[in-house]
Structure 1
Amino acid sequence: MVDLNDVKAIRALDSMGSLITTENYDKQFKEGLDLVANFELPPLNREIHEIILLGTGGGSSVAGGFLRSYLFDELKQPIIINQGYNIPAFVDKNTLVLVTSHSGNTEEILSAYEQAKKTGAYMVALTAGGKLAENCKNDGVPCLIVPADIGHPRRDLGYIFVPLLVMLHKLGLISDKTEEIMETINLFTELNKKLNPEVPVEQNHAKQIAIGLYGHIPLIYGSLDYYDSVAWRWKNQFGENSKLMAFYNVIPNLHHDEAVGWDMPEDLLKKFYLIMLRDDELDSPKIKKRKDITADILKERMGHVEFVYATGKSRLARMFSLVYLGDFVTLYAPIYRGVDPTPVEVINLFKRKMAE
């Protein structure tokens, strides 16, 4: 095991600097806000019935999930996240299509883009380049070009989520969120002082969770209305960063089906490490009670039950306080095992085989 108090060892193992990128989320989110500031969109000269986000993976699709959760009680149109090659039959001229592919070469998104174009939908794209940027230029589709980084969009949320959020405001679908974005940026700065590699294990909650997870399967429970997408983000980050199979579900939904699985054989259930996402302000009294009951039932059955609490003033900041903690946890977890968190060899292998 790697000593998580050994900052030099941590930095050396993190060969592509994902920890540094995470530590600089405040700067990245500000850059994302600046990038979209002067981005011009044609007038929305039609009624929008639904918004469909074309996106895959831990950057684009999860950004769509954050939009859906964060804007739950404001946005009048439903957000549908479309991760496959094809688009649903309802897409037409009254659909807003957000096309997101960080590389610009994601084959599923390029396929869905071509189909959406034929429907006459209002389209806008976000990419770092590639075929998508070329297609948008040829087709006259507004396209925001964002930094390419190293081609791992899961660590580029500031370049994806923030511009998409601002675009919705520019189209007149939501109110101006600049103040909440700025609060979130400032919160990143403060949380970094508690979670970065220089902070020892004794004072670093992310490192403590990462160590406790060793030998367990991560299970993340979020909740409606705002923490379903945050739980999804944690699950995805455990896969890509930590190289761990992980699972997530949402309260209250899971109490109607998955909860029966808690009666599985004890030796199997003990393998799970439950991370419960909590918010003393946004969780309703009934959701709080359900989380308390869940913890009471599972604390003697599962390997461990860990509460993590949101901080911040605005809803956006509170959601991203837990996203930020999760990103650090999922980076420290593989490092503790001696594994570089950034490479995704299985995904690269799959892409090579698909290209054959």
Structure 2
Amino acid sequence: MADLAERIGEFDSGEQLEAALSLPDHLRDALWRVSSAKLGPIPSSGLIVCGMGGSAIGGDLAAAALGSRLSKPLDVVRGYGVPSWTNPDRAIFCSSYSGNTEETIACYDAAEAVGARRIVATTGGRIAELARRDKVPVIGMPAGLQPRAAVGYTFAIAAEVAALVGAGPAIRMEIDSSAAHLDVAKEALLAKAAELADRIEGSTPLLYGCGMTVPVAYRWKCQINENAKLPAFSHHLPEMDHNEIVGWAGAAAGAYSALFLEDRDQHPRERQRIELTAELVGGAAHDVIRLETEGETRTERLLWSVMLGDLLSLELAARAGADPTPVKLIESLKQRLGRP
């Protein structure tokens, strides 16, 4: 099959393929931007990341990369306020690529109400104006990307903020080495994305994560939704073995593909569950794929799988003849909602 750049180029109006392949550069630039903000340590009892969509997933991925190295809570909130248990000593990181995400602005205001220390990451917009007014530190992100394509920024900045507030160790060296790993892996990732698309094309993908790969499965689902304009769903093990697995008994033959994202850090019983679950759903599935993450460090493996999922979504978009940039239904919804 022809090169993905050739096949998607004629209708990739926002150059989403270029953005996906620039993930290593985005990671390095994000680290530089955090350093340039010159933020010092922030005493806290933990971190709450407030955001939506591509801004929120960075917090989920940062928590996954840190894993058992977290020494304080790192929670991600998608909504209009901070949790009722939020204390003034909890740091609040408001991440909004556009700067105009109404839910994140509401969280920013709610954090002020409880007296919590705030940090903002954005390209500008209303939240930047509020932060300047309140003398809240702002970590700038570059404009011109779709929010979901800024995942390298939202992830790396969230990880750096987690270190600044004492929620976990600094992993900037891992992030930097991961960028180098992805530079080398680009061609192999493009080939792997095409191989996966060959296997799941014509079916609805059900994406299953476990441990570190839970937010990755959700990222894949959202990227397929937004870039390829196709339905996709995600769940996680071991929980899906207590509910969703039964639904496969009533699945139309060949309608769904199951893709399990595996990683060496998963519990041995979780690995066994993946093997058995894959066997049990195989009879009804269009295809069953078990994919092992690649990389030396936990952060390398996480980001390798994120980049692969982004490229898979664009491969599926190319085959569907879909422009990956516009999200017309989201824009229509916003117009109908009006301003808060």
- Could you tell me which residue of structure 1 aligns to residue 181 of structure 2? 187
CA pair 15-313 structure 1, distance change in 2 beyond 3 A: same
Q: Which runs of 5+ in 1 are unaligned?
A: 197-203
CA distance, structure 1, for counterparts of residue 154 and residue 35 of structure 2: 14
- Could you tell me which residue of structure 2 aligns to residue 31 of structure 1? 29
- Could you tell me which residue of structure 2 aligns to residue 85 of structure 1? 80
1:35 is paired with a residue whose SS is: helix
Contact 1:234 1:326 in 2 (8 A): yes
CA distance, structure 2, for counterparts of residue 232 and residue 14 of structure 1: 23
Amino acid at match of 2:51: G
CA distance, structure 2, for counterparts of residue 212 and residue 10 of structure 1: 19
Q: Does the alignment pair 1:73 with 2:68?
A: yes
**Which runs of structure 2 are paired with 1:272-351 in the superposition (5 Å)?**
272-279=256-263, 281-351=264-334
Q: Does the alignment pair 1:219 with 2:219?
A: no
1:307 is paired with a residue whose SS is: strand
2:10 is paired with a residue whose SS is: helix
CA pair 35-294 structure 1, distance change in 2 beyond 3 A: same
Contact 1:211 1:333 in 2 (8 A): no
- Could you tell me which residue of structure 1 aligns to residue 233 of structure 2? 247
Q: Which runs of 5+ in 2 are unaligned?
A: none
Amino acid at match of 1:256: H
- Could you tell me which residue of structure 2 aligns to residue 229 of structure 1? 215
TM-score by length of 2: 0.95
1:290 is paired with a residue whose SS is: helix
By how many angstroms is 1:355 displaced?
1.9
1:13 is paired with a residue whose SS is: coil
CA offsets 1:24-70 (integer angstroms, 9 cap, x no match): 1111111111111132335534x41x42211001x111111112222
Amino acid at match of 1:333: L
Contact 2:59 2:159 in 1 (8 A): no
By how many angstroms is 1:320 displaced?
1.2
CA distance, structure 2, for counterparts of residue 180 and residue 295 of structure 1: 32
CA pair 269-141 structure 1, distance change in 2 beyond 3 A: farther
By how many angstroms is 1:7 displaced?
4.4
1:156 to 142, 150, 173: 150
CA offsets 1:117-159 (integer angstroms, 9 cap, x no match): 1111011110000000000000111111110123x11111122
CA pair 221-43 structure 1, distance change in 2 beyond 3 A: closer
2:37 is paired with a residue whose SS is: coil
**Which runs of structure 2 are paired with 1:57-206 in the superposition (5 Å)?**
57=53, 59-150=54-145, 152-196=146-190, 204-206=191-193
2:258 is paired with a residue whose SS is: strand
Contact 1:99 1:113 in 2 (8 A): yes
TM-score by length of 1: 0.90
Consecutive aligned runs of 4 or more in structure 1 exceeding 6 Å deviation: none
CA offsets 1:299-318 (integer angstroms, 9 cap, x no match): 22211111222111000001
1:137 is paired with a residue whose SS is: helix
CA distance, structure 2, for counterparts of residue 74 and residue 300 of structure 1: 39
By how many angstroms is 1:242 displaced?
1.3
Contact 2:49 2:74 in 1 (8 A): yes
- Could you tell me which residue of structure 2 aligns to residue 41 of structure 1? 39
Amino acid at match of 1:44: I
By how many angstroms is 1:294 displaced?
1.2
Give the structure with the larger helix fraction: 2
- Could you tell me which residue of structure 1 aligns to residue 48 of structure 2? 52
